[in-house]
C-alpha cells in the first residue's frame, strides 16, 4: 500500500514535468497553428543553458535558481528569434509547411549543441535546499520531486491568470478561437504571435532547465520529449491548457502504475492512450472542434489540371535518363537510384492523402514498414519467392490501412495526423517486441531477391517499373472521378455530401489506397536492403516522408516526386561529405522554406504561370 502511494507520487512528478513542456507547445499551437517540431530542441537547449549557467554562477540559491530562470528566458529569446526570422515569413504557406521549417531548426540545434557542449552527457548539480528526501508513509521520497509536483499546478495557475486576467491573455484566447476575427478587429497579430512564441519557448526552456537536478543533460533529449509532448497536447485537446494538464496527469499515472503490471509496456503506453482517447473523443479530452475554415484561411487549393506540355516533355526526358543511363553507372549509383525510385512512390502515396485527400499523416511509415514486414515474413516463414512477397506487401499494408484508416479518417487536422502516428507506433512496437515472429529490433535478415533479380541493375528496373507504374496509377486516380470526389470532400465536406458523395468512404478508400502504395515501396525496399527492421516504420521515416512531400509542394502532383528526389539525394550526398550533415541539411531546409514557401514544384509552377499565364 505504502508503495502504491509513492508510485502515485512518482507519477505526479513525471506528469508535472511533462505538463511544463506540453503547456508551451499547446499555447503556441492554439494561436499560431504551427506544429512546432523544434519544441523538443528548445527543451534541450533549456537544459544545456541551465547547466552552463548553474555551473558558472556562484553556488547557492541565487546561482541555481537564477541559472534556471536565466536559461528559460534565454530559450524564450531563441524561440522569439526563430519566430521573427523564420516562421513569421511562412504563416501563409500551406498547412503543416511550418513543420518543415521547424524540423530544419531541430537538425541545426542538434549539431550546434554537439559542437558547443560536446558528446558526453552532462550532470547538473542538485537543487540547493532540495537535495535530500523526506519520509512519506514510512518510505523515502525525493524533495525535489515534491517540489516538481508543486511546480506544475503553480505554472498552470499562473498561466490561467495570465490568460484570464490580462488583456494580452484575452487576445490570445480570442486568437485561439478565431484568428481572422481578431485580426479584423485591429489587433496587431504579429506582436501577438511573437509574444506567444516567446512564452511557449520560455515554458519549454523552463521545463528543460528544471530537469537539471533530476536527469542528465544529453543530446537525445529533444527527440525523446517531443513525441510525448505532442501526445499530451493532442490527448488533452489542442490549445487547451487544462486539457494538457489532465492528459499529463493521465499519462504520468498510467505509466507509473502500468510498469508495475506489464514492465515492457513502456514503449507503447502513451500511444495506446492516445489512440484510445482519440477514438472515443475525436478532439481530445478537453478540446473543442476546430472552427470551420473560412475561405480566407491560407490560399485556396488550386485546381489540378492535366500537366502542361513542357512538364510532360521534362518528365519524359527524366524517364529516358532513368532508363538509359543506369547500365553505364556503377553498382552503388544504381542502388541509390533504386532507393530514389522507392522513395518517390513512398512520397507520392503520402501525397495522395495529404494533397488531394486533405489529411496529414504523421505515421505513414507504418504502411511502408508493414509492406516490408509482409514481404519479409512471407520470405522467412513461408519461404515465399520474391514476387509473391512483393505481391503480399501492398496487401498487408492495404489491409492495415483499411483497419487503421477506419478510425483515422473520422478525425480531422492534427488529431487525424496524430492518430495515424499512434497506430504507426503501435505497429512499430509490435514489430519491436514480438521477437519470436519479427526478430524484434534485430530484424529479419536474408530477405534477398531471387537469383534472376539479384543483379543490381535488374532489381533497379524492377523497382523502377513497379514504382513508376504505381506512381502513375496514383496520378491517374487523382484525375479519375474518385480523385474528384476526394478533392471535393477536402475542399468542402458539407457541399460534397450534399451532392451525394460519401465523404467518409472516399477518404477511407483513399487512405487504404495510399497505404497499399506505400506497401509496394516498403516491399521493394525490403528486398533492396536484404533485411527489415522496426526502424522502417519508426517516426523518423514518417517524418522523412512528410518532409519530402512538403519540400516538393503539397499542391502539385509532381511535388512529392521532386521532393523525394531532392531530399533523399541531398541527404545521401551530405552524409558522405561531412560529419556536420545535419547542420547543413537543416540550413538548406530553412533556406528552401524561406524562398519556396509553396515547395519546390509549387515555386516552379508559380514561375511558369507568371511567364506563360495560367496553364
Scan residues 328-367 and list those touching another protein (CB under 8 A).
Answer: 330-333, 335-336, 339
Find the shortest distance in angstroms from Cβ 607 to another protein.
Answer: 34
Residue 336 C-beta: closest distance to another protein, Å: 7
- Please choose, from the candidates 182, 9, 34, the residue with its C-alpha nearest in 3D space to the C-alpha of residue 94: 34
Q: Is 186 exposed, middle or buried (0-12, 13-18, 19+ CB in 10 A)?
A: exposed
* DSSP states of 423-450: HHHHHHHHHHH-HHHH-GGG-EE--PPP
Among 29, 37, 51, 141, binds another protein (CB under 8 A): 141
Question: Judged by CB, which is closer to another protein: 9, or 418?
Answer: 9
Q: Which is nearer to another protein, 193 or 536 (CB)?
A: 536
Spatial separation of the C-alpha atoms in residues 93 and 375, rounded to whole Å = 38
Using CB under 8 A, pick the residue from 85, 325, 575, 615 that binds another protein: 575
Only one of the segments 21-29, 119-127, 290-298, 515-523 lies at the binding site for another protein (rule: CB under 8 A); that segment is: 119-127
Instruction: DSSP for 126-175, please give it.
Output: PPTT-SSEEEETTEEEEHHHHHHHHHHHHHHHHHHHHHHHSHHHHHHHHH
Asked whether position 133 contacts another protein by CB under 8 A, the answer is: yes
299 binds another protein (CB under 8 A): no
Closest among 204, 235, 236, 244 to 221, alpha carbons compared: 204
| Among 132-140, 194-202, 394-402, 477-485, the segment contacting another protein (CB under 8 A) | 132-140
Q: Are 253 and 11 in contact (CB under 8 A)?
A: yes
Q: Is 138 in the site for another protein (CB under 8 A)?
A: no
Gap between the Cα atoms of 489 and 509, Å rounded: 13
- Strand ranges for 451-582 from DSSP E: 531-532
Q: Which C-beta is closer to another protein: that of 95 or that of 339?
A: 339
Among 84, 114, 174, 587, binds another protein (CB under 8 A): 114
Name which of 241 and 270 has its Cβ closer to another protein: 270
Q: Applying CB under 8 A, which of residues 6, 146, 307, 594 lies at the interface with another protein?
A: 6
Report the nearest approach of another protein to the CB of residue 29 (Å). Answer: 23
Residues 12-71 that bind another protein (CB under 8 A): 13-14
Does position 580 interact with another protein (CB under 8 A)? The reply is: yes
CB 285 within 8 A of CB 246: yes
Tell me which residues in 500-519 interact with another protein (CB under 8 A): none
Q: How many CA atoms lie within 13 A of 209 on its CB side?
A: 27
Distance between CA atoms of residues 402 and 366, nearest Å: 13
Q: How many positions of this chain bind another protein (CB under 8 A)?
A: 73
Q: Closer to another protein by CB, 77 or 259: give it.
A: 259
Nearer to another protein (CB atom), residue 180 or residue 215: 215
Residue pair 221/43 in contact by the 8 Å Cβ criterion: yes
- Other beta carbons less than 10 A from residue 358's beta carbon: 21
Closer to another protein by Cβ: residue 214 or 281: 214
Assigned C-alpha cell, 612: 506563360
Count other Cβ atoms within 10 Å, centred on residue 167. Answer: 7
Residue appearing with cell numbers 531548426 = 105
Question: In a 10 Å sphere around its CB, with 0-12 CB exposed, 13-18 middle and 19+ buried, how is residue 343 labelled?
Answer: buried
Angle at 524 between CA 104 and CA 507, to 5 degrees: 70
Binders in 389-428 for another protein, by CB under 8 A: none
> Applying CB under 8 A, which of residues 578, 591, 595, 607 lies at the interface with another protein?
578
Which string of DSSP letters, residue by residue, matches 312-361? Answer: HHHHHHHHHHHHHSGGGS-HHHHHHHHHHHHHHHHHHHHHHHHTTS----
Nearest approach, Cβ of residue 572 and another protein (Å): 8
Touching another protein, residues 240-279 (CB under 8 A) = 255-256, 259-260, 263-264, 266-267
- Could you say which of 60, 61, 62, 121 contacts another protein (CB under 8 A)? 121
Q: Select the span of 3-11, 96-104, 496-504, 514-522 touching another protein (CB under 8 A).
A: 3-11
Of residues 521 through 560, those in contact with another protein by CB under 8 A are 525, 529-531, 533, 535-536, 540
Distance, in Å, from the CA atom of 500 to the CA atom of 206, rounded to the nearest integer, reads: 52
Q: What's the closest the beta carbon of residue 357 comes to another protein, in angstroms?
A: 27
With CA atoms as reference, report the closest residue to 531 among 444, 464, 589: 444
Residues 431-490 that bind another protein (CB under 8 A): 432-433, 435, 440-443, 445-446, 448
Q: How far is the CB of 460 from another protein (least distance, A)?
A: 12
Region of 341 on the Ramachandran plot (φ > 0 left; ψ -120 to 50 alpha; else beta): alpha
Between 327 and 530, name the residue whose CB sits nearer to another protein: 530
Range 208-237, binding another protein (CB under 8 A):
214-216, 218-220, 224, 228
Amino acid at each position: 500500500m505504502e508503495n502504491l502511494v509513492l508510485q502515485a507520487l512518482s507519477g505526479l512528478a513525471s506528469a508535472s514535468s511533462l505538463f511544463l513542456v506540453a503547456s508551451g507547445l499547446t499555447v503556441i499551437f492554439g494561436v499560431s497553428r504551427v506544429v512546432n517540431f523544434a519544441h523538443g530542441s528548445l527543451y534541450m537547449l533549456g537544459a544545456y543553458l541551465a547547466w552552463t549557467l548553474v555551473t558558472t554562477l556562484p553556488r547557492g540559491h541565487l546561482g541555481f535558481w537564477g541559472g534556471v530562470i536565466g536559461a528559460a528566458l534565454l530559450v524564450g529569446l531563441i524561440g522569439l528569434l526563430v519566430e521573427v526570422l523564420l516562421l513569421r515569413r511562412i504563416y501563409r504557406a500551406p498547412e503543416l509547411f511550418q513543420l518543415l521549417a521547424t524540423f530544419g531548426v531541430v537538425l541545426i540545434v542538434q549539431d550546434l549543441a554537439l559542437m558547443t557542449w560536446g558528446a558526453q552527457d552532462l550532470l547538473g548539480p542538485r537543487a540547493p535546499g532540495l537535495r535530500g528526501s523526506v519520509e512519506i508513509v514510512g518510505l523515502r521520497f525525493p524533495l525535489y520531486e515534491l517540489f516538481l509536483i508543486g511546480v506544475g499546478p503553480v505554472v498552470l495557475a499562473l498561466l490561467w491568470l495570465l490568460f484570464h486576467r490580462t488583456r494580452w491573455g484575452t487576445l490570445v484566447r480570442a486568437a485561439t478561437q478565431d484568428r481572422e476575427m481578431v485580426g479584423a478587429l485591429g489587433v496587431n497579430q504579429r506582436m501577438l504571435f511573437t509574444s506567444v512564441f516567446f512564452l511557449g519557448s520560455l515554458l519549454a526552456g523552463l521545463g528543460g532547465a528544471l530537469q537539471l537536478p533530476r536527469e542528465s543533460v544529453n543530446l537525445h533529449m529533444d527527440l525523446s520529449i517531443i513525441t510525448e509532448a505532442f501526445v499530451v497536447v493532442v490527448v488533452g485537446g489542442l490549445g487547451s491548457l487544462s486539457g494538457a494538464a489532465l492528459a499529463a496527469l493521465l499519462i504520468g499515472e498510467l505509466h507509473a502504475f502500468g510498469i508495475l503490471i506489464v514492465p515492457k509496456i513502456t514503449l507503447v503506453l502513451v500511444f495506446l492512450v492516445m489512440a484510445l482517447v482519440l477514438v472515443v473523443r475525436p478532439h481530445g479530452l478537453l478540446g473543442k472542434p476546430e472552427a470551420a475554415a473560412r475561405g480566407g484561411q491560407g490560399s485556396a487549393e488550386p485546381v489540378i489540371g492535366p500537366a502542361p506540355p513542357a512538364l510532360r516533355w521534362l518528365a519524359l526526358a527524366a524517364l529516358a535518363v532513368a532508363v538509359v543511363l543506369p547500365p553505364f553507372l556503377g553498382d552503388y549509383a544504381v542502388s541509390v537510384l533504386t532507393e530514389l525510385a522507392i522513395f518517390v512512390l513512398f512520397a507520392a502515396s503520402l501525397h495522395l492523402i495529404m494533397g488531394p485527400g486533405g489529411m496529414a499523416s504523421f505515421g505513414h511509415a507504418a504502411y511502408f514498414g508493414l509492406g516490408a514486414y509482409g514481404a519479409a515474413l512471407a520470405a522467412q516463414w513461408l519461404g515465399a519467392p520474391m514476387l509473391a512477397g512483393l505481391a503480399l506487401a501492398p496487401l498487408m499494408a492495404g489491409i492495415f490501412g483499411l483497419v487503421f484508416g477506419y478510425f483515422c479518417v473520422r478525425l480531422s487536422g492534427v488529431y487525424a495526423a496524430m492518430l495515424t502516428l499512434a497506430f504507426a507506433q503501435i505497429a512499430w512496437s509490435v514489430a519491436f517486441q514480438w521477437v519470436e515472429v519479427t526478430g524484434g529490433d534485430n530484424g529479419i535478415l536474408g530477405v534477398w531477391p531471387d537469383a534472376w533479380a539479384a543483379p543490381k541493375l535488374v532489381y533497379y528496373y524492377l523497382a523502377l517499373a513497379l514504382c513508376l507504374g504505381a506512381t502513375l496509377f496514383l496520378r491517374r486516380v487523382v484525375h479519375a472521378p474518385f480523385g474528384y470526389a476526394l478533392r471535393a470532400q477536402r475542399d468542402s465536406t458539407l457541399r460534397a455530401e450534399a451532392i451525394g458523395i460519401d465523404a467518409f468512404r472516399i477518404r477511407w478508400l483513399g487512405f487504404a489506397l495510399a497505404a497499399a502504395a506505400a506497401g509496394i515501396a516498403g516491399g521493394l525496399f525490403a528486398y533492396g536492403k536484404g533485411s527489415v527492421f522496426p526502424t522502417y516504420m519508426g517516426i523518423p521515416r514518417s517524418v522523412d516522408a512528410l518532409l519530402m512531400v512538403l519540400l516538393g509542394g503539397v499542391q502539385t502532383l509532381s511535388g512529392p516526386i521532386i521532393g523525394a528526389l531532392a531530399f533523399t539525394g541531398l541527404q545521401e550526398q551530405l552524409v558522405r561529405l561531412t560529419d556536420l550533415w545535419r547542420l547543413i541539411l537543416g540550413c538548406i531546409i530553412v533556406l528552401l522554406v524561406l524562398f519556396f514557401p509553396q515547395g519546390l514544384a509549387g515555386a516552379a509552377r508559380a514561375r511558369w504561370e507568371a511567364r506563360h499565364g495560367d496553364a
